Structure 1
Amino acid sequence: ENCTKPLWDKRLQFSRNNSIFQQNVPLNLICPRGLKPPFPKVICAKELQQVISEKLVYEHAWWGKNKSAWTRIEGVIQCIAILKVGLGNFQISSTSIKLNWTCRFPGTCQDMRAMCRLAESSSRLCEAEEVKGEEILHGQEGTFTCSSLQPFTNYSVTISLPSSTVLFSWLFRTEETVPDKPEQLWLDRSSGSLRWKALPSCKGEIIGYQLNITVRSARDTGFLEMERLQVNGSITEHQLPEHDPGNSYMVSIQGLTAAGAGAASLWEFQTNSSDILHPLDFSCHSIHVISPSQGTAVLPLRPITSEGVREHQLVVATTHNGSVIKSTCLGQPQPSNNSQQPFNVSQQPSAYVAAVLNLTGPINFMLGNGTHGQGYHNTALQPGQDYMALLRLVRRSPQSEKFTCVCYSFSV
């Protein structure tokens, strides 16, 4: 009585390519290269299953031999990969690939060779050097690491036997890192647009550009405007706001990837026909109407913009140090009824918001008269103290923040 071929893994091959096999005749099992059967030898044998009406009922059962012992085979058997690489245990950074491996069949993984090779760069504009990551693996388990790789680049990792049988092959992409700084930045004087050369996606997909633009006025030395904005990665120009001829611009631009912002390129220029840069001095407007006994000073204020009624803040700092003007203008005050509410900027001296004003035209504002308004306190000025006051206008949109300040300085 013969045995029929079991419905096991289709990749399994018997030493005799038949559909029917004789009982008690050992057969060899063979798998494709890189795989092994759980039992190199199998045999079909008659086995008593039960007794029905005093009759013996037999069925065929398959047994497998591994090393020296025969084991009854339960269920379906399949070809098994010789090498196990934990896909969930990959550690990939922007410069390295690390993976753990385990040999499932001791004695078959001697002198395995692991190689790491450049597959392709992320862009034709990116030059990626070939790597020479190669290692002979020993033992039953271990770790293979490809190092000194380039970010955002595809690499293939292959582990093979000395017979060139490939046990593992996988394509990896290293993680992104921050991009290089933009190298080309210029002003298109005919259109008033700031332009730059697009960054290639060599260290990561360029998802945007971050710009910081500082404007100083040629006509008003106490005027300072700073804009922080982010544009899409496909955009390579930004229309500058209209200002008086001869204004000074300082621009920093950074590329953005998922890993963050890269190094900034800095550029300074003026909106005149000359390519020669004439540095503009920044100095606060002097205040002369001061009453030390009452702790007040009169500031001649006018709206920063003509775009209708806008909420202006009057920010006061106890200093004459001009180096803190930028940080004070960009600071984030918090509403409070305290006499002096510090900004959330640790580098600044004590600063507070004295008033919030909806300016529609020029006014003479009495600083230090002790009035309260919208949670802010116009506290009395202290005799013997140096002060700097900034009339500040903040405009925000989903993509940008613009801070415009006019500076006044005085001593009480």
Structure 2
Amino acid sequence: MALQFLALTFLLVFFPLLAAQVQEEPDSLIQGAPQETEMCQRPRWDPELHLAPDLQEYKKNEEVMLSCPEGLQPSYTHIRCSREVQNIIRGKPVYREVWLGRASSGSWIRIRSRVECVEVLEVVPGTVDVTSTTIKLNWTCSFPDACQHIQATCRLAGPSSPPCEAEELTGAEILHGKMGTFTCPPLQPFTDYTVTISVPPSTVLFSWVIRTKEAVPQKPEPLQLDASNGTLRWKALPSCRGEIVGYQLNITARAPQDGGFVQIERLQLSSRTTEHPLPAYGPGTRYAVAVRGLTAAGPGAAALRDFHTNGSETPGPPDGCSRLVLDTSASQGTAVLPLHPISQPPESASEHQLLVAVTHNSSVLEDACSGELQPSNHSHPPEPYVAAVLNLTAPTDFMLGDGTRGHGFHNAPLHPGWDYTALLRLARRSPQAVPLNCGCFLVAGQSPRPWPGIVIGVVVLLVLVLLFAVIVWFVQSRRRKAVSIKAKENI
């Protein structure tokens, strides 16, 4: 009986103590490792991170090295396991594991964000600037200490070959600091270059193949004329400075009469065309020819040549060209032009345009013929303008200066006393549907005779002569009278 009593007493005393211990233990494990635990679990950061040593648990203050794949860098290269007090429960500290990272200053600081592998150096998006002779980009360095030995280079992406030989570039630029701009040395247009940013000896951070933009082409030479058939020829341009998309051909033909102003042609030919016949206007005609190559960057320098046909006989006017004296009405400001359509290929779409200029200057007329269409601006004297657009299929008399309007142009009245030149231009679209082929033909004008002005001038001159005669008579009369009075006094 005594033994049972002792057992019961032991249970009554031990059970409350056991219950208290059970209640206390969960509190000591809340949000952290048990106080006696001195280990840290492997951090769950970027899977590309490599830890050395590579373990699942690390001891307190054990230093671990972090590394990344080539071209990437971790936020911290050295970390270590540590523990800090998270909370105090019932007077006892609750610990949790933390990781410390070594800063560039050498001190250890608490890592509060996820450690990842990031690019050491980044090219700023949208800053790559490419011209025909330069490649330029802006860069930023996430870890300036790691960027002290980074270098940037430009190299030809492949071997060059005639006729588009390019020089190989040498040298490299060392990048320093947190940010900057890298510019390749002077480059050649329309050429592939490899831009490389690397860490010697062999770690490549970035590598791009970039083609410089196109530039205008060189001159298409030699420019020659086959005298047997009047065909102009030139050598096809290589695509060294850009893809050749065509050729611009400007021809000015001057006949021996009318100051040499005959016709202007503005043509754009395909990239496959390397010859074109000159318009034939008979012996003595002089031609000024300019040929330019075209790329996406525009027309290049012109190959210029002057040619002339042999012979001294004066040829007749070219087909469609007329030299006329205008039947001018001084009172109405009009002139009648007998116009004839300019010959054209039957399949070409074209229109006749009548231009007016207050001049006979040949260079001004050339500019007017090849320039953009503009209506009369009512200036005094007016700039060359388009008076009308005509559907000219047969000879017709056209009243210039009758004041009518059409197609956005104004057939403005002519000003009496001004010297006009009318130009009939054939605007014809080429098969490429890009250029304008213009033939300008001189229709010489004659201004109305200024008889009223002449009459007024003669009348004014007569009045002045009469007035002068009266003054002379008056002066002489006074002089004679004075002499007579003096003679009487002497007697």
Equivalent AA in structure 2 for residue 198 of structure 1:
A
Check the 8 A contact 2:230/2:277 in 1, yes or no: yes
- What residue number does 2:452 align with? none
1:262 is aligned to 2:300: yes
1:21 is aligned to 2:57: yes
- What residue number does 2:136 align with? 98
Aligned length in residues: 392
1:372 is aligned to 2:409: no
1:204 is aligned to 2:247: no
User: Using a 3 Å threshold, how does the CA distance of structure 1 residues 89 and 121 change in structure 2: closer, same or farther?
Assistant: farther
Deviation of the 1:169 alpha carbon: 4.1
Deviation of the 1:163 alpha carbon: 5.6
Check the 8 A contact 1:312/1:358 in 2, yes or no: yes
Q: Once the two structures are superposed, what CA deviation does each residue of 1:336-355 show, in whole Å capped at 9, x if it has no partner?
A: 6x8x579xxxxx96334445
User: Using a 3 Å threshold, how does the CA distance of structure 1 residues 12 and 194 change in structure 2: closer, same or farther?
Assistant: farther
User: Using a 3 Å threshold, how does the CA distance of structure 1 residues 286 and 115 change in structure 2: closer, same or farther?
Assistant: same
Q: Distance in 1 between matches of 2:151 and 2:70?
A: 16
Q: Distance in 2 between matches of 1:371 and 1:17?
A: 96
Unmatched 5+ residue regions in structure 2?
1-36, 88-92, 448-491
Q: Distance in 2 between matches of 1:98 and 1:355?
A: 52
Check the 8 A contact 1:248/1:280 in 2, yes or no: no
Unmatched 5+ residue regions in structure 1?
51-55, 343-347
User: Using a 3 Å threshold, how does the CA distance of structure 1 residues 358 and 290 change in structure 2: closer, same or farther?
Assistant: same
Q: Distance in 2 between matches of 1:391 and 1:86?
A: 58
Q: Once the two structures are superposed, what CA deviation does each residue of 1:13-45 show, in whole Å capped at 9, x if it has no partner?
A: 221245x33443432212345433212233457
- What residue number does 1:110 align with? 148
Check the 8 A contact 1:218/1:245 in 2, yes or no: no
Q: Distance in 1 between matches of 2:69 and 2:187?
A: 33
Q: Which residue, out of 170, 186, 191, partners 1:148?
A: 186
Q: Distance in 1 between matches of 2:191 and 2:427?
A: 42
Deviation of the 1:46 alpha carbon: 7.9
Q: Distance in 2 between matches of 1:406 and 1:237?
A: 27
Equivalent AA in structure 2 for residue 376 of structure 1:
H
Q: Distance in 1 between matches of 2:46 and 2:78?
A: 15
Q: Distance in 1 between matches of 2:195 and 2:399?
A: 73
Equivalences for residues 34-53 of structure 1 within 5 A:
34-43=71-80
- What residue number does 2:453 align with? none
- Secondary structure in 2 matching 1:328: helix
Deviation of the 1:100 alpha carbon: 3.2
Equivalent AA in structure 1 for residue 189 of structure 2:
P
Computing the radius of gyration from Cα coordinates, the structure with the larger value is: 2
Q: Distance in 2 between matches of 1:17 and 1:30?
A: 11
Deviation of the 1:262 alpha carbon: 1.4
Q: Distance in 2 between matches of 1:293 and 1:90?
A: 68
User: Using a 3 Å threshold, how does the CA distance of structure 1 residues 304 and 216 change in structure 2: closer, same or farther?
Assistant: farther
1:68 is aligned to 2:84: no
Equivalent AA in structure 2 for residue 173 of structure 1:
R
User: Using a 3 Å threshold, how does the CA distance of structure 1 residues 4 and 407 change in structure 2: closer, same or farther?
Assistant: same
1:135 is aligned to 2:173: yes
Percent sequence identity over aligned pairs: 46
Q: Distance in 1 between matches of 2:209 and 2:279?
A: 51
Q: Once the two structures are superposed, what CA deviation does each residue of 1:159-203 show, in whole Å capped at 9, x if it has no partner?
A: 445666545544433332222121234457899765543322222
Equivalences for residues 212-227 of structure 1 within 5 A:
212-215=250-253, 223-227=262-266
Check the 8 A contact 2:375/2:385 in 1, yes or no: no
Deviation of the 1:402 alpha carbon: 1.9
1:325 is aligned to 2:325: no
- Secondary structure in 2 matching 1:404: strand
Range 221-230 or range 186-195, more displaced: 186-195
- Secondary structure in 1 matching 2:157: strand
1:182 is aligned to 2:220: yes
Deviation of the 1:325 alpha carbon: 1.9
TM-score (ref. length: structure 1) = 0.73
Q: Which residue, out of 106, 115, 119, partners 1:81?
A: 119
Equivalent AA in structure 2 for residue 401 of structure 1:
L
User: Using a 3 Å threshold, how does the CA distance of structure 1 residues 5 and 218 change in structure 2: closer, same or farther?
Assistant: farther
Q: Distance in 1 between matches of 2:398 and 2:336?
A: 6
Q: Which residue, out of 383, 394, 407, partners 2:427?
A: 394
User: Using a 3 Å threshold, how does the CA distance of structure 1 residues 153 and 315 change in structure 2: closer, same or farther?
Assistant: closer
Check the 8 A contact 1:334/1:341 in 2, yes or no: no
* RCO higher in structure (CA 8 A, sep ≥6): 1
Bigger helix share: 2
Q: Distance in 2 between matches of 1:6 and 1:191?
A: 87
Q: Over aligned residue pairs, what C-alpha RMSD do you find?
A: 4.6
1:362 is aligned to 2:399: no
User: Using a 3 Å threshold, how does the CA distance of structure 1 residues 141 and 279 change in structure 2: closer, same or farther?
Assistant: farther
Q: Which residue, out of 372, 383, 403, partners 2:438?
A: 403
Q: Distance in 2 between matches of 1:8 and 1:381?
A: 90
Q: Distance in 1 between matches of 2:298 and 2:392?
A: 39
User: Using a 3 Å threshold, how does the CA distance of structure 1 residues 65 and 217 change in structure 2: closer, same or farther?
Assistant: same
Check the 8 A contact 1:123/1:202 in 2, yes or no: no
- What residue number does 1:382 align with? 416
Equivalent AA in structure 2 for residue 350 of structure 1:
E
Q: Distance in 2 between matches of 1:39 and 1:208?
A: 59
User: Using a 3 Å threshold, how does the CA distance of structure 1 residues 300 and 104 change in structure 2: closer, same or farther?
Assistant: closer
User: Using a 3 Å threshold, how does the CA distance of structure 1 residues 92 and 227 change in structure 2: closer, same or farther?
Assistant: closer
Check the 8 A contact 2:236/2:274 in 1, yes or no: no
TM-score (ref. length: structure 2) = 0.63
Check the 8 A contact 1:38/1:79 in 2, yes or no: yes
Range 89-98 or range 155-164, more displaced: 155-164
Equivalent AA in structure 1 for residue 108 of structure 2:
A
User: Using a 3 Å threshold, how does the CA distance of structure 1 residues 115 and 358 change in structure 2: closer, same or farther?
Assistant: closer
Q: Distance in 2 between matches of 1:360 and 1:166?
A: 71
- What residue number does 2:355 align with? 315
